[in-house]
Amino acid sequence: MKLLITPAQVAEAAFRAPDFIQPEAVGEATILAAQQKFVRPVLGDALYEAVCRGDYPDLLADMIVPPLALYVKMLMLPSLAVQAGGAGVVEVHSKNLARAGNAKLHSALRRLRGDALALMRRAVRHIEASPAGYPEYDPALNILNRYSTEGGLVLTKDGNGKRC
């Protein structure tokens, strides 16, 4: 499966100052997981495969890469706080830094998810504004057109986009 974003792009786009991270810390498996969890269900299989083939480089660069970088960061944050090794799963500590508590971590994850979702919705608006430019896109397959979340609850939408 093709990566839609490189580890270096994730490090640059999602981990700006003061959150610097080395590109080597961004795993390809995490990128692939983010693509499968958050991009493919929105674009649908046909448009997703077309983007992977390189058919829409501007769409990818301008509309898909920004939310994908945030989704990758969102998936990485919990594992950045712990490491697995010979001693088992341990917390990472530094002399000058203190580990964020669970409430702060969850708050950061909610913010990242919200920002990434807003950017993903921006990409959808762009795609839906010119349907002839993206014939592979089917709005009925877009998960954002079928479900929404409010306060942790998953809500379905009827055929007119109204919550049920």
Does the structure show a pLDDT above 60 at 123?
A: yes
Q: Can you give the pLDDT at residue 19?
A: 73
In angstroms, what CA-CA distances link 97 with 33, 61, 94, 107, 127? 29, 35, 5, 19, 43
Over 90: is that where the pLDDT of 115 sits? yes
Q: Residue 15: its pLDDT value, please?
A: 87
**In the chain, domain spans:** 7-83+101-139
71 with 116: CB under 8 angstroms? yes
What average pLDDT does range 135-162 have in this prediction?
76
pTM: 0.83
- Count the alpha carbons within 13 Å of 43 in the hemisphere toward its beta carbon: 26
pLDDT of residue 7: 95
- Give percent of the chain above pLDDT 70: 78
User: Per residue in 29-67, pLDDT tens?
Assistant: 999 999 999 999 999 999 999 999 999 999 999 999 999
